[in-house]
């Protein structure tokens, strides 16, 4: 696919942030310097996801000093994935790059991503290596990515996070997906298009204080699993088969001792063990079903992914941006225009009934009377 010349291309950089006042100005300056070296036009979309460390004032000052810096202040902390969604909905570039605002995503690899995009790739995602977290967290990340690669219904790249570039067409499709619980790497894979990987070293956080808690990471892992895999539900086929075999074995064992050996069967231990086993399976099944039902409930409520309290340097004023709302308004407008066209067509439609000659009718009546 032909891309616009690099000098005519506009690259949007989306950065969600939470309490990153110590590094955000330096990171934006460093990233802008790298983009200026490529010769492209650029735009920053900084999404303040409920920061409480003075980030709001710093972001407003940055927006006032450069109109190419768009700032979205969300009304509260909606979470990292919702903040990403907010930034994508407001991106206007020919391509959009997602970056973390904690200095772990290296801006120096942006020219390579842009070069791959210019060569025809629609998605260029970073594959992380050399993580600097502690060994427990690295092990958890590796286990998660390998589990997702094995169980997901689509081939989600291993060790690929949010960092990456997407063409504007891909951004439109990702934004249009109406999912409430969003796992961005999975959605990016699901929409397809021509994609390639770019190995990128994962840098160290500037303050070694991650903003996403372990509980938040577990919640994101559950979202990824339940959104892109049916294995948790299908696993109960295997558990049901095991239970059936175990129950059948207990029946055979009881009948054997009753009919062949005639020995007394100690009941309380076996009954307690089997009851506990099946009770645990039932509890696990209810919990997994509950996860799916909770997500269905959230989806049916159809609440917006985020609420914008205040925005800086937006070309179109929005207070509560939502791609679905915009699509509904567009469809309603198209419906009204179609009805208006029908009314105009009805008014301009010629008379379909033929003109009747009254003299012929009179002559016909006279002939009938004569008969």
Q: Tens digit of pLDDT for each residue in 355-371?
A: 445 454 454 455 445 54
**Of the ranges 31-45, 195-209, 352-366, which one carries the lowest mean pLDDT score?**
352-366
Q: pLDDT tens-digit profile of 17-30? A: 888 888 888 888 98
Helices (H), 97-167: 110-118, 135-151
Planar angle of CA 243, 246, 252, nearest 5 degrees: 140
pLDDT at 185 over 60: yes
pLDDT at position 143 is 76
**Of the ranges 58-67, 88-97, 171-180, which one carries the lowest mean pLDDT score?**
171-180
- Domain ranges in the chain? 8-228, 231-301
State percent of the chain over pLDDT 90.
3
pLDDT at position 165 is 92
pLDDT at 321 over 70: no
Q: Which residue has the higher pLDDT, 261 or 119?
A: 119
Q: How confident is the model at residue 156 (pLDDT cuts 50, 70, 90)?
A: confident
**Gap between the Cα atoms of 226 and 62, Å rounded:** 39
Strand pairing class (69-74; 308-312): antiparallel
pLDDT at position 82 is 85
Q: How confident is the model at residue 213 (pLDDT cuts 50, 70, 90)?
A: low
pTM, rounded to two decimals: 0.65
Average per-residue pLDDT for the chain: 75
Q: Could you tell me which residues are beta bridge partners of residue 45?
A: 14, 70
pLDDT at 319 over 50: no
pLDDT at position 208 is 66
**Gap between the Cα atoms of 135 and 101, Å rounded:** 23
Q: Which residue has the higher pLDDT, 211 or 300?
A: 300
Per-residue pLDDT, averaged over 335-356, amounts to 64
Residue keyed to tokens 């100005």? 25
Q: Which residue has the higher pLDDT, 113 or 332?
A: 113
Q: pLDDT tens-digit profile of 237-266? A: 677 777 767 766 766 776 676 667 666 556
How far CA 168 is from CA of 3, 10, 12, 234, 341, in Å, comes to 11, 10, 10, 37, 33
Q: How confident is the model at residue 324 (pLDDT cuts 50, 70, 90)?
A: very low
pLDDT at position 46 is 92
Return the CATH number of the domain spanning residue range 8-228.
Answer: 3.90.550.10
Element (H, E) at 96: strand 95-98
pLDDT at position 364 is 47
Structure tokens at 189: 């894979």
**Gap between the Cα atoms of 356 and 362, Å rounded:** 11
């Amino acid at each position: 696919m032909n891309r616009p010349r690099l000098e005519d291309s506009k690259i949007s950089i989306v950065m969600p942030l939470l309490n990153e006042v110590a590094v955000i100005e330096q990171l934006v300056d460093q990233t802008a310097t790298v983009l200026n070296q490529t010769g492209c036009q650029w735009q920053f979309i900084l999404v303040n996801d409920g920061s409480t460390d003075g980030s709001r004032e710093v972001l407003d000052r940055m927006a006032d000093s450069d109109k190419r810096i768009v700032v979205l202040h969300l009304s509260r902390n909606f979470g990292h994935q919702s903040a990403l969604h907010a930034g994508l909905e407001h991106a206007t570039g020919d391509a959009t790059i997602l970056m973390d605002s904690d200095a772990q995503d290296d801006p120096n690899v942006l020219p390579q991503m842009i070069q791959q995009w210019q060569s025809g790739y629609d998605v260029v995602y970073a594959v992380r290596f050399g993580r600097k977290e502690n060994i427990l967290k690295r092990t958890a990340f590796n286990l998660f990515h390998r589990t997702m690669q094995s169980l997901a219904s689509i081939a989600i790249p291993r060790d690929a996070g949010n960092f990456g570039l997407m063409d504007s067409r891909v951004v439109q499709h990702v934004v249009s997906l109406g999912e409430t619980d969003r796992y961005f790497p999975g959605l990016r894979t699901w929409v397809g298009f021509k994609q390639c990987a770019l190995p990128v070293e994962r840098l160290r956080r500037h303050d070694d204080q991650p903003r996403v808690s372990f509980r938040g990471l577990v919640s994101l892992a559950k979202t990824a699993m339940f959104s892109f895999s049916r294995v948790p539900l299908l696993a109960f086929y295997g558990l049901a088969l095991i239970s059936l075999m175990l129950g059948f074995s207990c029946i055979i064992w009881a009948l054997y001792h009753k009919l062949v050996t005639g020995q007394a069967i100690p009941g309380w231990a076996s009954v307690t063990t089997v009851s506990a086993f099946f009770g645990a399976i039932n509890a696990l099944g209810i919990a997994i079903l509950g996860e799916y039902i909770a997500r269905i409930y959230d989806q049916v409520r159809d609440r917006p992914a985020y609420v914008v309290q205040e925005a800086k340097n937006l070309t179109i004023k929005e207070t509560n941006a939502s791609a679905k709302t915009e699509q509904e308004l567009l469809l309603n407008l198209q419906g009204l225009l179609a009805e208006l066209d029908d009314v105009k067509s009805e008014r301009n439609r010629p008379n379909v009934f033929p003109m009747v000659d009254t003299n012929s009718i009179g002559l016909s009546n006279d002939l009938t009377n004569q008969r």
